[in-house]
Amino acid sequence: MNLSAHLAVSIRAAIDAGQTILDIRARSFHVEHKTDGSPVTDADLAADSLIRERLSAAFPEIPQLTEETADSAARLSAADCFIVDPLDGTREFVKQNGEFTVNIALVHDHRPVVGVIYAPCLDQLWYAAEGIGVFRVDSASQRSDSQLPEAAKPIHVSTRTKNLTLLVSRTSLPTVEAKLDNLPGVVCVQPTSSSLKGCRIAEGSADVSICNHGTYEWDTAAMQCIAAEAGAILRFLDGSEIVYNRSNPHNEQGHFLCNRPENLKIVDKLLGL
C-alpha cells in the first residue's frame, strides 16, 4: 500500500485546519457543551468541516470517523478508515493556553498506518507512515508542500532507562510530584496535553506518560502511529493492543506510552499511586 498520497493530503489538511483554528481563536468564539459535558467550539466544527472535505475529495472511497460528525456503521465493513480529531484539547483552546492539536490518522485493517499531528500555536508538525518513517517539521505553516519533506527531521525515542522525564496532565501533576520519591529513575515531571505527550516521547524529549481515564479512538490513532514508528510502546493500561475502527470507538480504559520496555516498571508504579 503506497501511503504517500494519503500522508500528503492529511498533512496539508491538518496544517490548514490548524490555521483556521488560530483565525477563530483570534476573535470571539462560541462555546457549547455536548451531552457528556465536554466543550465544543466554532473552531472544532470549522476544522472538522475542512478536514472532512479535503479527505473526501481526495479519497471518496475511504470512510471517516471524526469526533464532531455523526458516526456511520458503513465504516465497519471497510478495510481503511480515516480517524480524525479536528481539535484535540478543546479545553486548552478555550483556556487559551495553546496546548491543542489537529490529529489525522489512516487506519488499515484496524491498525494506524498514517499519523499526522499539528500543533498550531507551536507551528510544529509530527507525521509518520508505515514504510516512510516518522518526522518533525518546525515552522510547518511557512513551508510549501514541496518544502515540507526537505524540512522534515527524522525522530526516534530516547534510549534512557534512568533520569527519565514523565509527562502528566495538569490535574495529575500535584499528586505525581508529591509522590516522586516512589518513582525511582524519574527526575522530571512535566504537564503536557495528551497528543503532545506522544509527540514528545516519539522525538525523545520525554520518556513515559500515562492516561488513567477513558479516551476515544480519535484521541490516540494518530499518536499511536507516530509513537510506534519512532519506537515507543502505546497500549491500554492492561497491556493489550489498541485496535481501531471498532463499532464502539470509546477506549474505556486509559493507556500508557513508554520509550523502552525496560521502563514499563515505571508504568506499574504510576498505576499504584
**Domain containing residue 61: CATH number:** 3.30.540.10
Is residue 82 in some structural domain?
yes
In the block, cell 516521547 appears at: 201
Give yes or no: residues 85 and 213 share one domain.
no
Domain endpoint, select from 128, 154, 180 = 154
Give yes or no: residues 129 and 169 share one domain.
no
Give yes or no: residues 30 and 125 share one domain.
yes
Give yes or no: residues 218 and 85 share one domain.
no
Q: What is the pLDDT of residue 36?
A: 83
Decide if 254 contacts 213 (C-beta within 8 A). yes
In angstroms, rounded to a whole number, what is the distance separating the alpha carbons of residues 167 and 39? 24
Alpha helices in 26-172 (DSSP H): 42-58, 90-95, 148-151
Give yes or no: residues 185 and 248 share one domain.
yes
Give yes or no: residues 126 and 216 share one domain.
no
In angstroms, rounded to a whole number, what is the distance separating the alpha carbons of residues 59 and 36? 32
Give yes or no: residues 36 and 82 share one domain.
yes
The CB density around residue 260, as the number of other CB atoms within 10 Å, is: 17
In angstroms, rounded to a whole number, what is the distance separating the alpha carbons of residues 131 and 160? 26
Decide if 245 contacts 83 (C-beta within 8 A). yes
The count of C-alpha atoms lying within 13 angstroms of the C-alpha of 198, restricted to the half-sphere facing its C-beta, is 35
Is residue 159 in some structural domain?
no
In the block, cell 516512510 appears at: 132
Give yes or no: residues 70 and 148 share one domain.
yes
In angstroms, rounded to a whole number, what is the distance separating the alpha carbons of residues 121 and 204? 21
Q: What is the pLDDT of residue 181?
A: 86
Give yes or no: residues 16 and 149 share one domain.
yes
The CB density around residue 188, as the number of other CB atoms within 10 Å, is: 12
Question: What domain range is 119 assigned to?
Answer: 4-154
In angstroms, rounded to a whole number, what is the distance separating the alpha carbons of residues 186 and 161? 9
Is residue 111 in some structural domain?
yes
Decide if 172 contacts 180 (C-beta within 8 A). no
Q: Splitting the chain (273 residues) into consecutive groups of 10 residues, what average pLDDT does each group show?
A: 95 98 92 89 96 98 96 95 96 90 98 98 98 98 96 98 92 85 90 91 96 93 98 96 96 94 92 80
In angstroms, rounded to a whole number, what is the distance separating the alpha carbons of residues 231 and 139? 25
